Structure 1
Amino acid sequence: MPRQMQERRVAVIGAGPRGTSFLERLLAAVEHAPGEAAETALRILVIDPAPHGPGRVWNPRQSPLYLMNTPANFPTAAPAGDTQVRLPASSVSRSFAQWREGHAGEATASPVRSDSFEPPVFHGVDHGGQDSDYPTRAAYGQYLSWLHAEVCAALQRHSGITVEHIQAEVTGLRRGQTGYELTLDSDGENDDAPRLRAEQVVLALGHIPAGLNETGEHFSSVAAELGLHYQPPAIPTEVDYHALPAGENVLVRGMGLNFFDLMVQASVGRGGVFHEHPDRPAGQRLEYLATGDEPHLVAGSRRGTPYRAKSTALTTAPGFAPVGVTLHHLSAEAVAAAERRHDVLDFSAHLWPLIQRDVLRTYYRTLERIAPELFGAEFLTALDVLLADAHLGEAVLQARGHRLLREHAPGVLWFDIRSLGRPFGGLTFDSAEQYQQHMETYLEDDAVTSAAGTQSPVKMAIGALHLARMEVKALISQGRVSQSSQIGEIEGWFESLVEGLASGPPLQRIEELAALTRAGVVEFLGPEPIFDVDRETGRFTAESPSVAAPAYQARWLLEAMMPANRVQLSRSPLVAGLLRSGLARPRELVDASGAPRAGKGFDVTSLPHRLIPADDAAEEIYVLGLQLSSVQWGTAIAAEAGGDPESSARSLADADAAARAVLAGPGSGIEGDSSLTESPDRD
């Protein structure tokens, strides 16, 4: 190292998946630009109070009852497969599936208390290591721990690069005389530590504490006043489910992915057992044997139902959708043509009509394939002609679709994907018992369609919806969708529709929920539930206006959801301090009325994403992950192995751009999508 070379410090705040991806991309940049790296003296400060690599969410010591929401062949924190064409691999780049293949014993080990219970195995789910299974989160945490350690070791083998791990929380960040000063809170372990200095900072914060909305604040204060128990939104591993009272009602708000974690902890986590009946049809294959120690979960959500299960027919090809699903109408050519005519894309006007047509095309082609006797010989041709008419609005398309079915398939109903998201919309129920019966049927039907895989028109149509979502995500990241339609339409209704239909749990969880419903451990409120407090009885209450039944009462109310991903609600001292000092600001969006609205995430530059402070000065603070939610839609837990860097592997492209900018040094001015380059030829 030349004597005159000064050491440059880079602070990576957050050592979970995003921070680990940044370090892996930095390693790749160093390995592919050895001349540039040789001229760089870097001290990399990796700072996180949680385990470095997995972070809080993927801690390898968590209960093995918690499953990932994707099969093993999907997630990665480093480029793999086709992704490496545009994001060159580092010497240690591995996907989760690639790592697990060589670390099977480690991946199936359970470094948890001996009183934990293993999840049941059925429907071909092989927790021993098939790529199509849904592994434990602890196993993914082991992968992240391995990748983080390997990347840091490889970085330190390069002359002039030092990696220092600091187990502490960064509570403050401010401009210094040169670069930035970081304040640490290490829980009393290192009270005398001086402030750290860094010329560049990478924010890879992940999930951070958030304040409550008005309703949550009300429930929290009432609980304290009346001696009730209110559990606000939280990461599941940080909730004490053992405190839930056996045999008592526990009101649950939300039936997304966190609900399934609660459900399994309140059943198998209390010693209960699922007994398998493989000879029974899907949806009825499990019987729950209770211990009597379970709480009685009374759950509600706006749609009245939990997220639908994923199809069992997932492909290993990019897209994470059933085999055979393609987008015919939402094509690059159609989107480009809409932009030429209208300058900026409006979701409802220009994108949703194309998405709806692909959903319909997929549904009826699948149904005709598995039941051709239902259709006349010319049906598919006539359907293609109908869907090709881009001038038909949604209402007219539906009316003509009904007419087409009457002519060619009189026994077939019109498929409405929006109604599928609210299956009980407009219906009323005479009793709570009647609603439970409908829910049992609903869950069993969902299990049947998931198990059918490519033979299910419904799940194939949902697969088309999911592929369309990935395209919309890419368009939003590229700044091609109007802000007003992002706020009013995508966030307003499309997000909840696609999340409820396409982002659900593995089939195993729906089978378990159906069994728990039959056993009376879980009960459902009904659509649009109202959660409240009855001061006369001193209890929380919950009821649905669609179900003729007395309100449920309980001492416990639990929010089955993650903390709000909105920087202005953050209770992180670091994020709050950045906003307060003006070093960061929320991104401002404009709604359909022209009124400005603070977005969920930080205001950042184009790729590589850097904070834009209140004074508009150029900052060397790079942002990765959840706090980019104002310029990206969706908060995927991981990149897709082999995925497109502009859509399903976007988090790796973000990390790659930040890493190359950091390696180039402060003020390098690297902007735009320059990170998405062709990799050099490899053997």
Structure 2
Amino acid sequence: MMTNSRGGCLPCTLGVIGTGPRGISVLEAMAARLAHSDPDQPLRIYAIDDTEVGAGRVWRTDQDDWYTMNTVAGQITMYSGVPDGGPWRPGAGPALDEWACATEGEADLGPDDYAGRQTYGRYLKSVFATIRESLPPHVELIALNRRVIALERRPVGGWLVELDQMPFLVAADQVLLATGHPVNTPDPFEQRMLDFAGARDGVHYLHGDSAADMPLGTDTIPAGTTVAVKGLGLSFYDVMLALTTGRGGEFKRGTDGTLTYLPSGQEPKIVAGSRSSLPIPARGVNQKAPDHTYAPVFLTRETILGAQQEQQRDHGHGQLSFNRHVLPLILKELDLVYQETHRDSGGQEPLPPLDLDALARPFTGEAFASPATFHERLLEVMRDDLQQAYLGNARGPLKAALDVLRDTRAVVRLAVDYGGLLPASHHDEFVREFLPGNALLSAGPPVERVEQLVALIEEGTVEIAGPDTRFDICETSGRFTVSSPRVTDSLSQARVLIDARVPTPDLRRDTSRLTRSLLASGVISEYRRTGPLGDSHPTGGLNITRSPFHVIDAEGAFHDDLYALGIPTEHTRWFTQVGSGKPGLNTLFRQDAAAIAEAMLDHADILEKTA
């Protein structure tokens, strides 16, 4: 235990860089344990965020209210335990819907409602405030709204955290990196579009960020302008709303339940597309309790561990083939739920097996004589999918089955994390073939968002270009072009091109001064996927140990006082963007936070020891 010149204990110091959900989850787990800490050992914790301490950038509280979450409020919590009748505190606090209903000034949320992202940001900040209020007197939590630009090793151990504003330097015995979504340098396509736009007045290419951080106002995109949008995932819906309801347009629901769009006259014309040109379908109406869990029958931990052991016995390594060892189990799991739900709802004859490729790419092999013909076919597919979504995620066979893709992620992680797949299988079968369809079919928006898109297509504000959409430039007209090789006369020209795809984490392209300095100094390293013959493949992910996720340096040694969690570690681990726990369940999100909290506090030697 360190002492100062007066004989008192010097505080141990911890730094948490990034206070979005991952950073807050670790702070909450720490605070729950610090109720039983040594009162004679002071502790100082720095919570550092360059956007909004307690909410982070993606969930910041000043964004527009039309940006919503895609998980129902009753299934979202940042507390590691449910309320127990006492005051809200780390280890016993409300889910998002419970908090909203009990908080003055917040609109009531039902457990099956979808909250706005700014609402979630306010919830995160309330959790942060509860953490701070709950800490014992010998623990100090200091919030710093600063950008961290470097970490340097201290001669006495620990780190000097360099900030872009005063106090400029903070000493920390241990540091957690929970820095969230990156902003990347342009890839060749993006650079070509940037160069084209940069040489022309009134032409703009917007990319590499969330819609809430893009300049989508009339200064950049005047009313009546044609704007092209690349990508039809969740971020597309954000762009769509910013350019419609964000411009004063309104959706009205008729007596028959259908939506129509009433334009304000300030909208641009939106022409969007993607490889499949199927906008990400809706999630099924929620019919599951907040603490619902699914127990896999085929895709189990035991099955995956058995396959790894068999590979080790037969081939001298435990790496799996995704298409051989994992995908068949996923498909059997989906079909089991699909058929059982169908039977429970009254179906007599078995349904044909689910075809994920056909669901994700319904226009494969089709050609269309005109944009109108394609739109007719597209709306047919979208309306059919909405009907399935209305049936719900427990009583509707399709959406119940597709929810299995979400419910079994933890088992898939067991197979794929830390180089669990053969490198070629990981790249070709998992990343390139499986993940796009998986994301399209399992991560959709609320039903209302898809209804709104249907209304916008019918009204004419939005046009979907067609399958295998091509985005290019026209030197003659000085405009971007959008077209589909399978839709005759689909060519459109646009003054603005918006890339609505979420940037893929990649250390080599991350523009963050902190990431660049850590790479240059060798403090961090890139995770490389290695095959059984020793072949090494770069991934762009941050190299970390298994739990509690110590950072590994350029020499291959791990720092016992530096941790990383969340999106920077994508590619080493899979699906790190999850941003909440589920009430009453010991989810992987909660386990990750607990592991790091325990490691940091054990290292600080502040917790009371039990006999």
State the TM-score, normalized to the length of structure 1: 0.81
Quote the offset at 1:286 in angstroms. Answer: 0.1
Q: Does 1:297 align with 2:276?
A: no
Find the residue that maps to 1:553 and give its secondary structure: strand
2:236 is matched with 259
1:54 aligns with 2:55: yes
Q: Which residue of 1 aligns with 2:43?
A: 42
Q: Residue in 2 aligned with 1:28? A: 32
1:503-652 aligned at under 5 Å gives the runs 503-590=443-530, 595-619=535-559, 620-642=561-583, 645=586, 649-652=587-590
Alignment of 1:186-225 (within 5 A): 186=165, 190=166, 193-225=167-199
Post-superposition Cα deviations, 1:189-214, rounded to whole Å, max 9, x if no partner, equal: x4xx3422222111111123211111
Q: Give 1:548 deviation, angstroms.
A: 1.5
Secondary structure of 1:10's match? strand
2:315 is aligned to: none
Unaligned ranges ≥5, structure 2? 313-317
C-alpha contact 1:92 1:147 (8 A) present in aligned 2? no
Unaligned runs of 5+ in 1: 109-127, 380-411, 669-679
User: Counterpart amino acid of 2:556?
Assistant: D
Distance, in Å, in 1 between the alignment partners of 2:344 and 2:133 is 53
Aligned to 2:140: 162
Q: CA deviation at 1:92?
A: 5.3
Residue among 300, 304, 307 paired with 1:338:
307
- Give the structure 2 partner of residue 147 of structure 1: 127
Distance change (3 Å), C-alpha of 1:246 and 1:208: same
Indicate yes or no: 2:210 matched with 1:271.
Answer: no
Which of 323, 326, 330 aligns to 1:348? It is 323
Q: Structure 1 residue 318: deviation in Å?
A: 4.4
SS of equivalent residue, structure 2 residue 408: helix
Task: Determine helix, strand or coil for the equivalent of 1:665.
Answer: helix
Q: Which residue of 1 aligns with 2:280?
A: 307
Structure 2 counterparts to residues 434-453 of structure 1, below 5 A? 434-453=373-392
Q: Is 1:15 the equivalent of 2:14?
A: no
| Cα drift, residue 603 of structure 1 | 0.6
Structure 1 residues 262 and 613: alpha-carbon distance in aligned structure 2, compared to 1, 3 A threshold: same
Q: How big is each residue's C-alpha offset from its partner over 1:505-557, in whole Å with a ceiling of 9 and x where there is no partner?
A: 00010010000010001100111111111111111111111111242111110
* CA separation of 1:333 and 1:612: change in aligned 2, threshold 3 A: closer
Letter in 1 for 2:299: L
Counterpart of 1:665? 603
Residue 326 (structure 1) shift: 5.6
8 A contact 1:639–1:650 mirrored in 2: no
Asked if structure 2 preserves the Cα contact closer than 8 Å seen for 1:588 and 1:596, the reply is yes
With over 3 angstroms needed to count, the CA separation of the structure-2 counterparts of 1:43 and 1:69, relative to structure 1, is: same
**Is the 8 Å Cα contact of residues 583 and 614 (structure 1) preserved in structure 2?**
yes
Q: Please identify, of 356-365 and 63-72, the stretch whose mean Cα deviation from structure 2 is larger.
A: 356-365
Task: Give the distance between the partners of 1:65 and 1:299, measured in 2 at CA.
Answer: 20
Residue 241 of structure 1: SS of its match in structure 2? coil
Match of 1:397 in 2: none
CA contact (8 A) 2:549 2:596 kept: yes
SS at match of 1:540: strand
- Look up the SS of the partner of 2:551 in the other structure: coil
Q: How far did 1:479 drift? A: 6.6
Instruction: Kindly indicate whether residue 355 of structure 2 is the aligned counterpart of residue 416 of structure 1.
Output: yes
Aligned length: 587
Q: Which residue of 2 aligns with 1:172?
A: 150
**Structure 2 Cα separation of the partners of residues 421 and 184 of structure 1:** 45
Tell me how far 1:258 sits from its aligned partner: 0.7
Aligned-partner Cα distance in 1 for 2:537–2:291:
35
Match of 2:27, as an amino acid? L
Using the size of structure 2 for normalisation, the TM-score is 0.90
C-alpha deviation, 1:158, in angstroms? 3.3
Q: Is the contact made by 1:275 and 1:289 (CA closer than 8 Å) also made in structure 2?
A: yes
Are residues 1:73 and 2:74 paired?
yes
Shift of 1:295: 0.7
Partners of 1:591 and 1:314 in 2: how far apart? Answer: 43
Distance 1:348 1:81 in 2: 39
Determine helix, strand or coil for the equivalent of 1:221.
helix
2: CA distance, partners of 1:470 / 1:456: 24
Q: 1:194 to 1:264 in 2, by over 3 A?
A: closer
1:656 aligns with 2:597: no
SS of aligned partner of 1:444? helix
Is the 2:304–2:414 Cα contact (8 Å) retained in structure 1?
no
Change in 2 beyond 3 A, CA 1:90/1:370: closer
Percent identity of equivalent pairs: 29
Note the C-alpha offset of 1:183: 1.6
How far is 1:427 from its partner?
A: 0.9
Residues 558 and 594 of structure 1: CA distance in aligned 2, closer, same or farther (over 3 Å): farther
Alpha carbons 2:48, 2:144 under 8 Å: kept: yes
Task: Classify 1:12/1:312 alpha carbon distance in 2 versus 1 (closer, same or farther; 3 Å).
Answer: same
- SS in structure 2 at match of 1:201: strand
Cα 1:469–1:180, aligned 2, differ >3 Å: closer, same or farther? closer
TM-superposed CA distance for 1:492, in Å, is: 1.8
C-alpha contact 2:174 2:562 (8 A) present in aligned 1 = yes
Secondary structure in 1 aligned to 2:600?
Answer: helix
2:364 to 406, 409, 425: 425
- Deviation of 1:368 (Å): 4.1
State the shift of 1:4 in Å: 5.0
Structure-2 change in CA distance of 1:196 and 1:465 (3 Å): closer
Give the corresponding residue for 2:342: 367
CA separation in 1, counterparts of 2:291 and 2:541?
27
Q: Quick one: distance in 2 between partners of 1:504 and 1:433?
A: 25
Q: Distance in 2 between matches of 1:72 and 1:555?
A: 38
Change (3 A) 1:486 1:94: farther
Deviation at 1:331, TM superposition (A): 3.0
Query: Aligned partners of 2:18, 2:575: CA distance in 1, in Å?
Result: 20
Question: Who is 1:245 aligned against?
Answer: 222
Question: Cα deviations across residues 124-163 of structure 1 (Å, max 9, x unaligned)?
Answer: xxxx3211000111111111111101102222x332x222
1:152·1:163 contact (CA, 8 Å) conserved in 2?
yes
Structure-1 separation of matches of 2:298 and 2:91: 40
C-alpha distance in structure 2 between counterparts of 1:356 and 1:139, whole Å: 36
Paired with 2:432 and 2:254, the residues of 1 have a C-alpha distance of 42
Q: Verify the 8 A CA contact 2:79 2:91 in the aligned structure 1.
A: no
State the partner residue of 1:394.
Answer: none
